[in-house]
Chain A
Amino acid sequence: MCGIVGLFLKDPKLEPKLGEMLTDMLITMTDRGPDSAGIAIYGRPEKGKAKLTVQSANPDADFASLAEDLGKAVAGKVTGVVKDTHMVLELPEDRLDAARHALKSLRPAAKVMSAGEGIEIYKEVGLPKDVAARFEVARMSGTHGIGHTRMATESAVTTMGAHPFSTGSDQCLVHNGSLSNHNSVRRVLRQAGMTFETENDTEVAAAFISHKLQEGAKLGEAMEATLTDLDGFFTFVVGTKNGFGVVRDPIACKPAVMAETDQYVAFGSEYRAMVNLPGIDSARVWEPEPATVYFWER
């Protein structure tokens, strides 16, 4: 199973409510997967600034002086906000790579959830309502976001095995399904220089798309390539700095519903997830076609 929700706002007036709407949608999908939950929220990028979201099993110890320590290491101003097991660090964009590098030696146990100009990812083991509450997702604003609730099949139920997976700057991917050739694709991607945190199949799909984008492919082309190179069942929802995309495998047994109004484009594993969105009764609602790439960018 697994449940996916996504929201791409066209109307800036809805932006302050993005977190609240996504949280409501994700909680509705709880019975599609109780193992872990995660959410990626894209805020409006601020010029010259970047965000690094890190997670730690020992947040008190790891986060206490992290912003200062990183600031010293990269010779730049770093500020941070702690939310439960996650910390969002804000820093000059040109220090982002250095900060990621420095983090490895400063806090070896901390994990990078996401990095980029707009993205923040929060994910933990537990039910959507609990995970969303721990990170106060409902209070977040943003331009677009993706949520996932997991029923684990291909790897252990851990924080790092939760979705969304982020394998590139401002990129993330969530997945309903299971891939059967992820080990061989991972091997090829490792040879090409991609790094992996888990044995999870979805992380391979995320890295596959990130790698295509690094090679210069457009988002649509990278998603199209999943149809030929990835074997298995999938409905993917992909987030980037400017938008989000959807693709389903040709068999398309993993459900997907989309809705579009003048104010937003919404994705749900089921229509249930979207019933409280404004104007849903007059929205264009459809099921995305198999083996067809959809994406929206601003």
Chain B
Amino acid sequence: MQTFDLEAQGLRQLNTTLHALKGQTNETAWEIVNPKGAHAIAVGLDAPVDVTVRGSTGYYCAGMNKQATVRVKGSAGPGVAENMMSGTVIIDGDASQYAGATGRGGLLVIKGNASSRCGISMKGIDIVVHGNIGHMSAFMAQSGNMVVLGDAGEALGDSLYEARLFVRGSVKSLGADCIEKEMRPEHIAILADLLKRGEADHLAKPEEFKRYGSARKLYTFNIDNASSY
């Protein structure tokens, strides 16, 4: 285990050190102490390493992540795992707005609540939230899966493309072109796998969720829908 004291050594040094790690590195386990809510912690990693942040983080933690597993033993500020490509990011506490925004791959797990705009414009990332999500989540979400064990706020999945949204609790309101859809066996299978990988299979069963998706009336141009655009 390599330990990095962020307060003593600074952010630039941290990210330079982590960026230097390549696929064959033997230094696969890292611990960052004294994060103190700093921005851009462990951003842009591209190696199969395991990084644990001992405390809460500021903006953009684990942004653009590839391959790495980043664990935050606290809460995360805005834009955690933004534009993640692959790998896993696990937040023990809450996540602020636009968690997992524009993510293209990998798995983001939030064990507390996520606030507004969670998964906005997601493009292939999987997001598992153990608690609730705020308003405008999965806005313009294009692909990937979002699993919410709690409740969803207003305008879930507004202007949705092909992402799948699974919510166990209540949905305050659905956004434009987002509808409830039937849960078929293949969705149960996807959900079971995500709950397991999202460390939530002891908390919820796939059968307890409802699935929401795109009505596909908005994103392919149709003159009859002109007033909705």
CB-based contact B77/A252 at 8 Å: no
Query: Quick one: given A253-B97, A290-B135, are A272 and B116 in contact (CB under 8 Å)?
Result: no
The answer, yes or no, to whether B169 is at the interface (CB within 8 Å) is no
Q: Give the tally of cross-chain contacts (CB within 8 A).
A: 43
Q: Bound state CA distance, A287 and B115, in angstroms?
A: 8
The answer, yes or no, to whether B78 is at the interface (CB within 8 Å) is yes
CB-based contact B94/A286 at 8 Å: yes
Query: Quick one: given A287-B115, A290-B134, are A270 and B94 in contact (CB under 8 Å)?
Result: no
The answer, yes or no, to whether A116 is at the interface (CB within 8 Å) is no
CB-based contact B135/A275 at 8 Å: no
Query: Quick one: given A252-B116, A255-B78, A287-B96, are A271 and B135 in contact (CB under 8 Å)?
Result: no
The answer, yes or no, to whether B38 is at the interface (CB within 8 Å) is yes
Distance of B107 from chain A, by nearest CB (Å): 23
Q: Bound state CA distance, A255 and B38, in angstroms?
A: 15
- Binary interface profile of B, 127-138, with partner A (CB < 8 Å = 1, else 0)? 000000011000
Q: Bound state CA distance, A232 and B38, in angstroms?
A: 28
The answer, yes or no, to whether B75 is at the interface (CB within 8 Å) is yes
The answer, yes or no, to whether B36 is at the interface (CB within 8 Å) is yes
Distance of B29 from chain A, by nearest CB (Å): 23
The answer, yes or no, to whether A140 is at the interface (CB within 8 Å) is no
Q: Which residue of B lies closest to A276 (CB)?
A: B36
Instruction: Give how many B residues have a beta carbon under 8 Å from the other chain's beta carbons.
Output: 18
Query: Quick one: given A252-B116, A285-B56, are A272 and B96 in contact (CB under 8 Å)?
Result: no
Kindly name the residue among A251, A257, A275, A285 whose own CB sees the greatest number of chain B CB atoms within 10 A: A275
Instruction: Give how many A residues have a beta carbon under 8 Å from the other chain's beta carbons.
Output: 17
CB-based contact B58/A272 at 8 Å: yes
The answer, yes or no, to whether B150 is at the interface (CB within 8 Å) is no
CB-based contact A270/B116 at 8 Å: no
CB-based contact A290/B116 at 8 Å: yes
Distance of A225 from chain B, by nearest CB (Å): 21
The answer, yes or no, to whether B37 is at the interface (CB within 8 Å) is yes
Chain A positions 249-293 with a Cβ under 8 Å from a chain B Cβ: 250-253, 255, 257, 270-275, 281, 285-287, 290
Chain A positions 196-255 with a Cβ under 8 Å from a chain B Cβ: 250-253, 255
- Binary interface profile of B, 34-66, with partner A (CB < 8 Å = 1, else 0)? 001110000000000000000110110000000
Q: Bound state CA distance, A251 and B115, in angstroms?
A: 11
CB-based contact A271/B134 at 8 Å: no
CB-based contact B97/A272 at 8 Å: no
Q: Which residue of B lies closest to A275 (CB)?
A: B36
Q: Bound state CA distance, A261 and B158, in angstroms?
A: 38
- Binary interface profile of B, 112-131, with partner A (CB < 8 Å = 1, else 0)? 00011000000000000000
CB-based contact A271/B97 at 8 Å: no
Complex interface: chain B residues within 8 A of A270 (CB): 37, 58-59, 77
Complex interface: chain B residues within 8 A of A274 (CB): 37
Distance of B137 from chain A, by nearest CB (Å): 13
Complex interface: chain B residues within 8 A of A286 (CB): 94
Chain B positions 78-126 with a Cβ under 8 Å from a chain A Cβ: 78, 93-94, 96-97, 115-116
Q: Which residue of A lies closest to B93 (CB)?
A: A285
Complex interface: chain B residues within 8 A of A287 (CB): 94, 96, 115
Complex interface: chain B residues within 8 A of A251 (CB): 116
Q: Bound state CA distance, A127 and B78, in angstroms?
A: 25
CB-based contact B115/A271 at 8 Å: no
Q: Bound state CA distance, A290 and B136, in angstroms?
A: 12
Complex interface: chain B residues within 8 A of A290 (CB): 116, 134-135
Pick from B37, B78, B94: contact of A272, CB under 8 Å: B37
Q: Bound state CA distance, A281 and B54, in angstroms?
A: 11
- Binary interface profile of A, 90-105, with partner B (CB < 8 Å = 1, else 0)? 0000000000000000
User: Could you write out 8 A-B pairs with CB less than 8 Å apart?
Assistant: A252-B97, A252-B134, A252-B135, A253-B97, A271-B58, A272-B38, A275-B37, A286-B94
12 other A-B residue contacts (CB within 8 Å) besides A255-B77, A285-B93: A251-B116, A253-B116, A255-B78, A270-B58, A270-B59, A270-B77, A274-B37, A275-B37, A281-B55, A285-B56, A287-B115, A290-B134
